[in-house]
Copies of this chain bind each other. A is one copy, B any other.
């Protein structure tokens, strides 16, 4: 549950990151910033801010903001019905982001995982201009560096309600009080 006050504060901060990154939004988009705390009530540690540019039945594009050291929790995008699952590319535009996927766990990782809950620890560092593509159903989580990060997401359609999170405490649908 996100209080109105926290929501407003997070939106304001989100817009300041887009401004720093030189990303221009329409007034309508500014009024539709999504603030996700994944039901954990700990937004500044585990959370994500985003604007969805488009989400048709074929293509989706979003602009994400992560505050300093803010983390998007481990999840995957499974197949369902006739949909083979979401393919997702993250392109860092500003700041630095650490992306974790399956593979040999990286030693001395930049981000701190939620001990005992997350399961993938192979680190990919994305600096501005760098990007990484995830196949459907690939477990992943990511965290911003000390400056925060702005990340473009290019993907097949998003169905957030179908995402599967590793942490059983999580619910994706945002609830604003």
Contacts and interface: CB of A to CB of B under 8 A. Distances in A.
How many protomers of this protein does the assembly include? 2
Interface in A120-167: 128-131, 133, 152, 154-156
Interface residues of A, number: 27
Nearest to A156: B58
Contacts of A22: 21-23
A54 B131 contact: yes
A13 to B, nearest CB: 19
Contact of A89 (B26, B54, B93): B54
A26 B59 contact: no
Interface in A11-39: 21-26, 29
A44 interface: no
